[in-house]
């Protein structure tokens, strides 16, 4: 009977050293992981802004070409209440002394305190059909 009293029962538990090592590891990894998540969210937001700006620039460029407004209209503005914070500006330049004109539309916005922009360019024929 003495043998059974001297035997330790099987215990399933963590030692203090294991718990402390886990806490130290978590203290090192968590800030790095949180910084990575924050950076990923920032980049995703910037990507969304760039996609929206490129789409707005494409729509404005198509509109200017389709209506012929690039020849006489005001070549700057904003996108109204639907797209606050985005502004556009167009520029028309001669292209190699031909009847073609280079039309550039730039969409600007402010993000993280910095001015950002996306520009699209195409050629248009200036003349009657």
Domains of the chain: 13-125 (3.30.1300)
pLDDT in tens, 78-114: 999 999 999 999 999 988 888 899 999 999 999 888 9
Residues 6+ apart with CB under 8 A from 103: 61, 64, 65, 70, 90, 91, 92, 121, 122, 123, 124
Q: Model pTM greater than 0.75?
A: no
């Amino acid at each position: 009977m003495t043998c059974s009293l001297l035997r330790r029962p099987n215990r399933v538990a963590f030692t203090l050293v294991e718990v402390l090592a886990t806490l130290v590891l978590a203290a090192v990894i968590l800030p790095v992981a949180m910084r990575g998540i924050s950076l990923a969210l920032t980049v995703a937001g910037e990507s969304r802004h760039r996609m929206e700006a490129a789409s707005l620039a494409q729509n404005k460029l198509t509109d200017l070409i389709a209506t012929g407004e690039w020849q006489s209209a005001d070549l700057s503005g904003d996108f109204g209440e639907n797209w606050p914070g985005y502004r556009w500006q167009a520029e028309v330049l001669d292209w190699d002394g031909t009847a073609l004109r280079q039309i550039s539309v730039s969409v600007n916005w402010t993000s993280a305190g910095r001015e950002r922009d996306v520009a699209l360019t195409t050629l248009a024929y200036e003349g009657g059909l």
